[in-house]
């Protein structure tokens, strides 16, 4: 008899909830591909609630790893899973509205959403590089399909680009795993940390492995040399999908980066920090500068998300716990703002043939004051202007970078923020100060406005009283293993 391994499935209960929900949704969508999608949306929300509840149930567990050291049980994973479930709920609602509005039913959307979220929830808990790779692949495959879900030319092209470049990035990720294994004879995050600490001299193999992992993961969060796909995919994908993936992927992958860079390669932090600083600075500069040149709001937001990834990454030069907390706060505030922004864009763009050029936003303040106000809040937060959460997030992130001694990076970040403020404010000015022209194709229904008020309120509340979650995030930032 071979001894059965200990199966501690409770440790990945949120992931199981999401995958189980995804499987049921997939099976159901096989039999009701073009049927009413309300049950699917409700089911998705229920699955997300179940996942969130089971994540909360893990909050007070002892911080440890489970399933033969494959996944970790800690508060970082719990917080990230909760954030992912929240983003997923908005994604599901926006998708529901998007497809319902055009009477264009793609009930696979919900299954894919749940699969993507399951992969992300696994990624934030991954304590082994193999699991990191597995989770990244699961979430990516779901996102590729979601991008093409409307079967139109633009989305299909975007999905193809995303897929080809994503496959390329996966190879880098896997190569990084192999190199790390070569350096330490283990793929587990803890094992890597143990194997690499206390070893004198330079460790080129481990360093190369870490850098390749950063390349693979950096592709998913669109850091600068690997950002080429971002504008095309964000513009081509259906807006609810863009909203979902721009926020959720960043949360999941950056949390995985925390584990990989701060824990596994924590002892190499001094060697890695310059590379991270360069990536971060490049993303901030290039993202902000290129966003200025855009004439399409979705494309502009895509470049802005490149810049935002740079801002988040700048906190990684400090492997202290406030660095992790700052990154988490930034991720949450960014997610709220970007989900909201793409949600509003979806309402304004008027249907499945999305029209998101600047002309659509001209004089929106006169016609659609509510939408214009919501979008302004989100854009102000992305620009980092008080009293929104984006401001607090930038302060925290730059504080972490300064305490690590990377003040030139902070300087670049500040300059990039100024450049960024220009293109965000330009859209606001376009909405507020110009005369509307052409037909109004914005969505008139009130419910999505109400739903999108939630992230708006979040952004403002977090901006005024960040104290409500910062202590929580600092607790989550304690990685005691």
Partner 1 sequence: MLTEYLPIVAMAVLAVAFGVASLVVSRMFRPHRPNPVKLSPYECGNDPVRLPRGERFSVKFYVVAMLFIIFDIEIIFLFPWAVRFRQLGLFGLVEMAFFIGLVFVAYIYVWRAGGLDWATSVEAPADADLASDSPRDPMAAADEELAAAMHDAEVAGAR
Partner 2 sequence: MDWVGWAILVVRVAIVFFGLLISVMLYIWMERKVIADMQTRVGPLRAGPRGVLITLADGIKLFFKEGITPTAADHPVYAVAPILAMFPGFLAFCVIPFGTSVTLFGREIPFQLADLNIGILWILAMTSLSVYGVVLAGWSSGSNYPLLGAVRSSAQMISYEVGMGLALVAVLMYSGTLRMSELIAAQDTVWNVIPQFPAFVVFLIGAIAETNRPPFDLAEAESELVAGFHTEYSGIKFAMFYLGEYVSTVTVAAVAVTLFLGGWRGWWPFDGAVAWIGPLLWFVLKITAVIYVLILVRATLPRMRYDRLMNFGWKVLIPFGLVWVMITGVVVVLPQEYGNRGRYIAGAVIVGAAALATLVAPLFSHRPASEAEPGGQPEGREVRA
- State the binding partner of 447 from partner 2, partner 1, none, CB within 5 to 8 A by kind: none
| Residue 6 binding partner 1, by CB under 8 A | no
For residue 92, which of 46, 34, 31 has the smallest C-alpha distance? 46
| Residue 33 binding partner 2, by CB under 8 A | yes
Ranges within 94-113 binding partner 1 (CB under 8 A): 104
Q: For residue 198, how many other CB atoms are within 10 A of its CB?
A: 7
Contacting range for partner 2; rule: CB under 8 A; set: 26-34, 109-117, 168-176, 453-461: 26-34
CA dist 295 and 286 (Å) reads 17
| 40 versus 330: smaller Cβ distance to partner 1 | 40
Quote the least distance from Cβ 395 to partner 1, whole Å: 38
CA dist 105 and 33 (Å) reads 7
Among 27, 36, 411, 468, binds partner 1 (CB under 8 A): 27
Q: Please, where are the H alpha helices in 293-315?
A: 297-314
- State the binding partner of 181 from partner 1, partner 2, none, CB within 5 to 8 A by kind: none
CA dist 325 and 322 (Å) reads 5
Among 2, 4, 5, 31, binds partner 2 (CB under 8 A): 31
| Residue 292 binding partner 1, by CB under 8 A | no
Query: Are 90 and 451 spatial neighbours (Cβ–Cβ below 8 Å)?
Result: yes
Size of the site for partner 2 (CB under 8 A): 3
Quote the least distance from Cβ 5 to partner 1, whole Å: 9
| Residue 4 binding partner 1, by CB under 8 A | yes
What's the number of CA atoms in the CB half-sphere (13 Å) around residue 428?
18
CA dist 114 and 119 (Å) reads 9
| Residue 27 binding partner 2, by CB under 8 A | no
Among 178, 395, 441, 464, binds partner 1 (CB under 8 A): 441
CA dist 420 and 251 (Å) reads 21
Q: For residue 38, how many other CB atoms are within 10 A of its CB?
A: 10
Quote the least distance from Cβ 105 to partner 2, whole Å: 10
CA dist 216 and 144 (Å) reads 16
Among 59, 64, 141, 152, binds partner 1 (CB under 8 A): 152
65: which strand partners? 72
The secondary element (H helix, E strand) that includes residue 65 is strand 64-66
Give the residues lining the site for partner 1 (CB under 8 A).
1-2, 4, 23, 26-27, 29-31, 33, 104, 150-154, 156, 350, 353, 355, 357, 359, 437-439, 441
Give the residues lining the site for partner 2 (CB under 8 A).
31, 33-34
């Amino acid at each position: 008899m071979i001894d059965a391994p200990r199966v501690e499935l409770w440790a990945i209960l949120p992931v199981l909830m999401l995958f189980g929900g995804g499987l049921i949704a997939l099976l159901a969508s096989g039999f009701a591909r073009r049927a009413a999608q309300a049950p699917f949306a409700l089911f998705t929300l229920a699955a997300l609630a179940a996942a969130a509840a089971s994540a909360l149930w893990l909050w007070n567990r002892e911080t440890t790893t489970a399933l033969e050291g494959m996944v970790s049980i800690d508060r970082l994973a719990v917080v990230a899973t909760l954030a992912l479930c929240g983003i997923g709920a908005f994604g599901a609602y926006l998708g529901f509205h998007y497809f319902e509005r055009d009477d264009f039913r793609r009930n696979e959307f919900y299954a894919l959403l749940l699969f993507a979220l399951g992969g992300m929830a696994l990624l934030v808990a991954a304590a082994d590089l193999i699991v990191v790779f597995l989770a990244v692949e699961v979430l990516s495959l779901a996102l590729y399909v979601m991008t093409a879900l409307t079967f139109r030319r633009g989305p299909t092209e975007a999905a193809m680009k995303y897929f080809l470049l994503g496959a390329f990035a996966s190879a880098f990720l896997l190569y990084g795993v192999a190199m790390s294994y070569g350096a330490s004879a283990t793929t587990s995050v803890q094992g890597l940390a143990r194997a690499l600490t206390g070893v004198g001299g330079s460790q080129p193999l481990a360093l190369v492995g870490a850098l390749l992992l950063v390349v693979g993961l950096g592709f998913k969060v669109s850091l600068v040399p690997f950002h080429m796909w971002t504008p095309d995919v964000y513009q081509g994908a259906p807006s609810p999908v863009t909203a979902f993936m721009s926020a959720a992927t960043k949360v999941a992958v950056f949390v995985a980066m925390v584990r990989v860079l701060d824990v596994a390669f924590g002892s190499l932090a001094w060697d890695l920090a310059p590379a991270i600083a360069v990536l971060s600075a490049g993303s901030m500069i290039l993202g902000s500068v290129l966003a200025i040149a855009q004439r399409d709001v979705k494309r502009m937001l895509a470049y802005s998300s490149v810049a935002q990834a740079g801002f988040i990454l700048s906190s990684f030069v400090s492997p202290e716990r406030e660095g992790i907390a700052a990154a988490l706060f930034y991720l949450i505030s960014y997610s709220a703002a970007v989900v909201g922004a793409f949600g509003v864009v979806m309402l304004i763009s008027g249907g499945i043939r999305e029209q998101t050029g600047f002309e659509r936003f001209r004089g929106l303040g006169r016609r659609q004051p509510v939408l214009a106000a919501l979008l302004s809040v989100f854009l102000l937060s992305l620009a980092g202007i008080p009293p929104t959460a984006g401001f607090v997030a930038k302060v925290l992130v730059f504080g972490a970078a300064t305490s690590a001694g990377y003040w030139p990076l902070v300087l670049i970040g500040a300059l990039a923020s100024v450049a960024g403020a220009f293109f965000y404010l330009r859209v606001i000015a376009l909405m507020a100060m110009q005369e509307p022209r052409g037909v109004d194709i914005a969505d008139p229904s009130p419910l999505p406005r109400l739903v999108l008020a939630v992230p708006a309120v979040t952004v403002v509340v977090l901006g005024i009283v960040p104290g409500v979650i910062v202590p929580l995030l600092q607790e989550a930032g304690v990685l005691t293993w």
